Amino acid sequence: MTDKTTHDTAGDSGRADDGRSIETDGGVASQAAQDHEQTDYLNAEVNLLNPSTPFMREHLKIVWTGFAIWAVIVFGPVTMTRLAPGVMTTQMPVIGFPLHYFLIAFGGPTGALLLSFWYARKRDALDEKYGIDPESVSTQTEGEAVAADGGVEE
């Protein structure tokens, strides 16, 4: 299980001062993209509670919003059922479920799925706003046999 280290031209990613131009907006970088250009991410502290770069700040805003909604989806219905069992156990019209059962059994997984979709979309939009093109780094194709199972089979 060797690490395939390839110090190639892509090695300069992560550097801010290499003067690459942002092409997505025709060369006129937005404020966010300029911030991104001027940030040296390797010299900005990582702390969940105290984001140090504009990108991280915006990203964490999305993360915490999602987390808050998630917490309500996961623990909300069961807690409401504990607090107000009468209301929560009423039978729903048409589909016949007791309300709490439906919110937990169907609402939980579905809510998490929709949230995940929302987050992945938001994060893509954030990349775009900051002028980051995930495809900009050429994918290498020299076919090194990195095992799909994580290389655990020696």
Partner 1 sequence: MIDSLALQSELLPEGLNISFKTLPAILVLGMLGLFLAIGFVFRVADTENMWVAGRSIGNVENGMAIGANWMSAASYLGMAALIALSGVYGLAFVVGWTTGYFILLIFMAAQLRRFGKYTAPDFVGDRFNSDSARAIAAVTTFLIGFVYAIGQARGMALVGLYVFGDFGGVIPGLDGYQVMVVAMMAITVGYLSLSGMLGATKNQAVQYVILIVAFLAGLFVVGVTNGYSTILPQIEYGMLISELGSEFSEPFVNESYYLWIATCFSLIVGTCGLPHVLVRFYTVESERTARWSTVWGLFFICLLYWSAPAFAAFGTDLYSSNVGATYGDPGMSSAAGDVIVVLATQLSGLPEWFVGLVAAGGIAAAIATVAGLFIAGSSAISHDIYTNIINPDATQRQQILVGRLSILLLGAITTLAALDPAAPIAALVSYAFSLAGAVLFPMFFLGMWWENTNRQGALAGMLTGLTLWAIPMINEVVPTYGFFGGETISPALAQWMPAIGSALIAVPIVFVVTIGVSLATEEPPMETKKIVRQCHSPEPMSQQQTAEDVVAADGGTETPADD
- Residue 1 engages partner 1 in binding (rule: CB under 8 A): yes
- 91 forms beta bridges with 98
Q: What is the dihedral of CA 62, 65, 68, 74, to 10 degrees?
A: -60
Which C-beta is closer to partner 1: that of 27 or that of 96? 96
Site string for partner 1, 92-131 (x = CB under 8 A): x--xxxx-xxx-xxx-xxxxxx-xxx-xx--xx-xx--x-
Question: Judged by CB under 8 A, does residue 87 bind partner 1?
Answer: no
Q: Determine, following the binding rule CB under 8 A, whether residue 23 of this chain makes contact with partner 1.
A: no
- The one among 38, 61, 89, 90 contacting partner 1 by CB under 8 A: 89
Note the Cα 12 to chain centre separation in Å. Answer: 24
Structure tokens at 109: 């997984």
> How many alpha carbons lie under 13 Å from residue 126 in its C-beta half-sphere?
16
User: Is residue 141 part of the contact set for partner 1 (CB under 8 A)?
Assistant: yes
Tokens of residue 49, six digits? 């509670």
- What is the spatial distance between Cα 80 and Cα 75, in angstroms, rounded to a whole number? 9
The minimum distance between CB 21 and partner 1, in angstroms, equals 15
Residues in 40-79 at the binding interface with partner 1, rule: CB under 8 A: 40-48, 55-56, 59, 62-63, 66-67, 70, 73-75, 78-79
